[in-house]
Structure 1
Amino acid sequence: MTTIKDVANEAGVSISTVSRILNFDDTLSVGEDTRRRVLEVAEKLQYKKRNKRTPKLGKQIAIVQWHTDKEELSDLYYLQIQYGIENKATSLGASIERITYESIDKSRIKNFDGIIAVGKFDRTEVTHLQSFGLPVVCIGENYLEYGLDCIRSDFETPVRKIIDRFIQNGIDDIGMIAGQELTVTEKQDVRDPRVATFNQYLTSKGLYNEKFVYQGAFGPESGFDLMSQAIADLGESLPHGFMIGSDSMAVGVLRALQQHHINVPKRVSIISFNDVAIAKYTSPALTTVHVHTELMGERAIEMLLDRVKDPKKVPELTIIGTELMERESSI
């Protein structure tokens, strides 16, 4: 397992600095370049597989990301996906370039052979991406209605499994701290399948309580604020089990619980999503759903190259499974 010392050595900073950055310590005064370098090193060191290079494929691929660079550092899920894309592209001898959606234009995109769009895009944005006349593969949502190949994770199955796990361990008061997202252009709410499945499955068991569900932005600050609000609102009725929308949100959730002297996992068990590098370095370490972001990125490259070879190929939706990584934050 990669250690904080390994990250510190690779990033060229102190162990203390790495620890504080991985725990999103907002009292640490470091530049954004240093923060990004540490987070990127921590994620890249998780890659155990290193594919051998093959003769240069000669393809140029644009990764269009919907988040700004700053937003990406608060929710490392999309950064992980990009590393999967980069790793596969490198192994095939293809070149890639990251572009934010807001900076994309025809003059910049004309030299690429295809686009991998990473994030949640609305109709206006998808139409814009298609207007360049290049093959497009999307990661994050189902875009078959637009005739596009797409990849997403199975979030529904782990939600049901987490609820069953809580119940089997004697926890039937279950809450959720979830993220809320809007598309960039049309400002449409993005449906979160975790929230929908959480509501439906608990309702079917007669255990759903809308007062136990809190939603806000993804990121540690939001996680802290939402859990602090739940503690203030619910007092002794605070659920004994919480599902958290992302590991970065869970960092803030843990901080709020610790500030209120609420023991994790004895009083509150926490299970989050994504299994980014920070999940291993929190205290306690996070039990989390491992989303195979590296596989999603690799599969996107393969689907794009298939589309380049056969533009009339029937569009495909690939759903990638997940697995629970059991650590210290849950019983």
Structure 2
Amino acid sequence: MTTIKDVAKSAGVSASTVSRILNYDATLAVSEDTRRKVLEVAEKLQYKKKPKKVKQSGAKIAVVQWHSDKEELNDLYYYQIQYGIETKALSGGVSVDTISFNNIANIDLTGYSGIIAVGKYDESEIHRLAGYHKPLVFIGENYLLYGFDSVQSDFLTPINWIINHYLTEGITDIGLIAGQEKTLTEHNAVYDPRATTYRNRLVHEDLFNPDFLFTGSYGPDSGYQLMERAITELKDDLPHAFIIGSDSMAIGALKALKQHDIPVPGRVNIISFNDVAIAKYAYPALTTVHVYTEIMGERAFDLLQEQIKDANKIPESVVISTRIIKRDSSV
């Protein structure tokens, strides 16, 4: 099992620096480059598979990312996906270039054999990407409606798994701290089906309380602010369990609970999503939904290769399963 000392040795920094970076300590004075290096090393050391070194074929694909570098540092979900794409591409002799959607107009895509678009895109952005007339696969949302292959993770089943678990443990007051994203061009709010699944299931159980549902941006600062709001507004009615939309949000939520001397999981249970490296280094270590991000990236690469070989390929929507990783933040 990878330890903080392993990450520190590989990143060339102290173990205490690694610990503070992985816990998003805002008081730590380090450069963004150091922060990024530590987070990336921590993620890479989680993987057992390493790219096979093969002769490069000369082919290359473009991975278009919709998020900013800052957003990636706050939530490494998209970095994990990219790592999966790169691992599979390199093992097939294909090189990968990463392009920001905001900068795509300045890039000549003529020499690329295809595009993998990672993130949440609105209709105008989808048409813009399609306008390059290259094989195109999306990761993150279902774009079958527009006639494109897409790969996404099953975030709906885990909501029911988690609610079932809490109910089995006798916990009936269950809160949700969900992330809210917007598309880049039209600034459309991105619908998160997890909130609807949560609401519908608890309504069915006659347990839904709208005061227990909080939404904000992804990242530790938002997680902290939303939990702080929940603690302040709900006081003794604070739910005994929360589902939190990402591990980084959960890190922020843990900080707020700690500042108020609210024990986890003694008083509040937390189960989050993604299982990025920070989840196991948190205190307490996070129970979380493991998302097979590397498989999402690999499957997207395979779909792209199928399109390259067959221009008449029938579009597919691929949904990858998830699983719960039990750690210390929940019963």
TM-score, structure 2 normalization: 0.99
- Percent identity over paired residues: 58
- Show the 5 A alignment for 1:99-110: 99-105=99-105, 107-110=107-110
Aligned to 1:289: 289
Give the counterpart letter for 1:181 in structure 2: E
Tell me by how many angstroms 1:51 deviates.
4.3
Tell me by how many angstroms 1:92 deviates.
0.8
2:109 & 2:271 partners in 1: Cα distance?
A: 40
2:73 & 2:51 partners in 1: Cα distance?
A: 26
CA contact (8 A) 1:182 1:190 kept: yes
Tell me by how many angstroms 1:57 deviates.
3.4
Aligned to 1:181: 181
Aligned to 1:199: 199
2:94 & 2:161 partners in 1: Cα distance?
A: 39
1:34 & 1:108 partners in 2: Cα distance?
A: 31
Aligned to 2:172: 172
Aligned to 1:268: 268
2:247 & 2:2 partners in 1: Cα distance?
A: 18
CA deviations over 1:83-142 (Å, ceiling 9, x no partner): 011111111111001111000027422211110000000001000001111111000000
Shift >3 Å, 4+ stretches:
none
CA contact (8 A) 1:58 1:93 kept: yes
1:109 & 1:235 partners in 2: Cα distance?
A: 55
- Show the 5 A alignment for 1:1-331: 1-105=1-105, 107-331=107-331
SS at match of 1:324: strand
Tell me by how many angstroms 1:193 deviates.
1.5
SS at match of 2:79: helix
2:95 & 2:196 partners in 1: Cα distance?
A: 38
Give the counterpart letter for 2:124 in structure 1: T
CA deviations over 1:24-44 (Å, ceiling 9, x no partner): 000000110000111111111
Q: May I ask how many residue pairs the two structures share in their alignment?
A: 331
Tell me by how many angstroms 1:58 deviates.
2.9
Query: Unpaired segments of 5 or more residues in structure 2?
Result: none
CA deviations over 1:13-63 (Å, ceiling 9, x no partner): 110110000000000001100001111111111110124334433320111
Give the counterpart letter for 2:141 in structure 1: E
1:86 & 1:211 partners in 2: Cα distance?
A: 42
SS at match of 1:289: strand
CA contact (8 A) 1:106 1:132 kept: no
Root mean square deviation, CA, Å: 0.9
1:4 & 1:107 partners in 2: Cα distance?
A: 39
Give the counterpart letter for 1:49 in structure 2: K
Give the counterpart letter for 2:173 in structure 1: D
Pair 1:138–1:53, CA change in 2 (3 A): same
SS at match of 2:189: coil
2:57 & 2:262 partners in 1: Cα distance?
A: 54
SS at match of 2:262: coil
Give the counterpart letter for 1:247 in structure 2: D
Pair 1:135–1:263, CA change in 2 (3 A): same
1:55 & 1:13 partners in 2: Cα distance?
A: 34
1:309 & 1:105 partners in 2: Cα distance?
A: 27
SS at match of 2:319: strand
1:5 & 1:106 partners in 2: Cα distance?
A: 41
Query: Unpaired segments of 5 or more residues in structure 1?
Result: none
Tell me by how many angstroms 1:168 deviates.
0.3
